Amino acid sequence: MSRRLSVLIAIGLVAGFLSGMFGVGGGIIIVPLLIALAAYPPKTAMATSLAAILFTATAAAAAHANEGNVQWADAVLLGVPAVFGALIGAAWHQRASTRGIVLAFAAFLALVAVRLATE
């Protein structure tokens, strides 16, 4: 197995474990790891992370749905507006400078950390 493939698998394993354990999304873990360990440019790391968590979220949601925990009316109430948000977010991502988006991401990450610590 190539070193690169091992690194990607390791990132997935770690991101999955930490997100399952602490209930945070895998994305905040995948993005810094792709930049630090796989030499990803920051914007590519964010876009690729989004695609990666599609798998994670789908598998986890399916497991939860089987247990009957998904409240579908609320999922629609939040999920449909979120699609419009995704169009806005992708457009902002594409227009932003690398420095600007990394600083914004860092601020977001710090916010997640504070919330986690004070929960």
Partner 1 sequence: MEHLLAAFLGVVAGTLSAMFGVGGGLIFVPTLIFLGSNTHQAVATSLAAMIPAILVGSWRQTRYGAVRWKDATVIGIASIPTAQLGAAAANDLSNDALRKAFAVLLFAVAVQMAVRALRDGGSSDSSSGPDPPSA
Task: Restricting to residues 65-104, name those near partner 1 by CB under 8 A.
Answer: 65, 67, 69-72, 74-94, 96-104
53 near partner 1, rule: CB under 8 A: yes
Name the minimum Å distance from CB 105 to partner 1: 5
Question: Does the footprint of partner 1 cover residue 2 (CB under 8 A)?
Answer: no
**Residues in CB range of 118: below 8 A, 6 or more apart:** none
Structural contact between residues 29 and 18, judged by C-beta atoms closer than 8 angstroms: yes
Q: Does 21 bind partner 1 (CB under 8 A)?
A: yes
Helices (H), the chain: 3-22, 27-37, 42-66, 72-95, 98-118
Q: Does 37 bind partner 1 (CB under 8 A)?
A: no
- Which SS3 state, helix, strand or coil, does residue 39 take? coil
Residue 112 Cβ vs partner 1, minimum distance, rounded to whole Å: 6
